Amino acid sequence: MNARILIVEDEAGLARTLKDRLQKEGYAVSTARDGNAGMDAATREPFDLLILDVMLPGQDGLTICQKLRQLGSNAPILMLTARRQTMDKVIGLRSGADDYLAKPFNMVELLARIDALLRRAGPGKTSGPVRYQFGDLQIDIRSTEVTREGRAVALSAKEFQLLRYFVEHRGATLSRDELLREVWGYGGQPSTRTVDVHVAWLRQKIEKDPKNPQLILTVVGLGYKFVA
């Protein structure tokens, strides 16, 4: 799968240039124009790498970087700044950023840094935030705690793994075969009926009205989709 990159940059021209160029390189690119939208995007979707401008309207790039690290995200972060002082570099890296590039920069240099960061992170080693909130539902991936309306929801290990897979692939239609393969593994599981049963159990526990699910939707003939 193509690496997903989020660019948070308020200079529209630069953001567009970066997006076009990175898309040509085969990356899946999203952009946000200010700090709040950037933080929102970064905590809503999983990205393999983030490019954060330091000076942003709303919250600045360093703040976003620190918050994401506190949330447990380990996706590589490349900071962009208009200022060249060494001090900025130190602050940038202390904030949890992985690399730093001063504007104006050479596009080839940027591509090389992105390539190096993604290679160092390795496929599948990066992850999104470890805590998610969807309405009243809170999911902490690291502690495996799920709460709804502030009350703990008791899930079996398999239910939690299924929920986690849904959350980390939210918005995507997931076939029963994929869920069986990714959540149960090739362990001689008898049938895709197993998936349906676990989805039903999960809905009982996390949906307000399990008969009218708002989070785990059935996609007729295809599988399921987690929507937030």
* Residues 78 and 64: beta-carbon distance below 8 Å: no
Nearer to Ca ion, 38 or 46 (CB): 38
CB of 55 to Ca ion, least distance (A): 4
CB of 67 to Ca ion, least distance (A): 18
Size of the site for Ca ion (CB under 5 A): 3
Nearer to Ca ion, 55 or 101 (CB): 55
Q: What three-state secondary structure class fits 158?
A: helix
CB of 19 to Ca ion, least distance (A): 15
Q: Which stretch binds Ca ion (CB under 5 A): 55-63, 126-134, 158-166, 208-216?
A: 55-63
CB of 128 to Ca ion, least distance (A): 24
Compute the Cα dihedral for 13, 14, 19, 25 and give only its sign. positive
Q: Is 215 exposed, middle or buried (0-12, 13-18, 19+ CB in 10 A)?
A: buried
Q: How far apart are CA 177 and CA 80, in angstroms?
A: 42
Q: Which residue is nearest to Ca ion (CB)?
A: 55
Nearer to Ca ion, 48 or 53 (CB): 53
Q: Which stretch binds Ca ion (CB under 5 A): 22-30, 31-39, 51-59, 116-124?
A: 51-59
Q: How far is CA 9 from the centre of its chain?
A: 18
DSSP-assigned beta bridge partners for residue 8: 32, 52
Nearer to Ca ion, 10 or 98 (CB): 10
- Choose, by CB under 5 A, the member of 8, 10, 61, 121 that binds Ca ion: 10
CB of 84 to Ca ion, least distance (A): 14
Q: How far apart are CA 96 and CA 99, in angstroms?
A: 9
- Choose, by CB under 5 A, the member of 28, 41, 55, 130 that binds Ca ion: 55
What is the number of H-type helices and E-type strands within the chain? 8, 12
CB of 61 to Ca ion, least distance (A): 8
Q: Is residue 48 part of the contact set for Ca ion (CB under 5 A)?
A: no
- Choose, by CB under 5 A, the member of 48, 53, 60, 159 that binds Ca ion: 53
Q: How far apart are CA 190 and CA 206, in angstroms?
A: 26
First to last CA, the chain: 23
DSSP-assigned beta bridge partners for residue 219: 223
Token pair in block for residue 215:
């989070």
Token pair in block for residue 88:
């900025």
User: Given the rule CB under 5 A, which residues bind Ca ion?
Assistant: 10, 53, 55
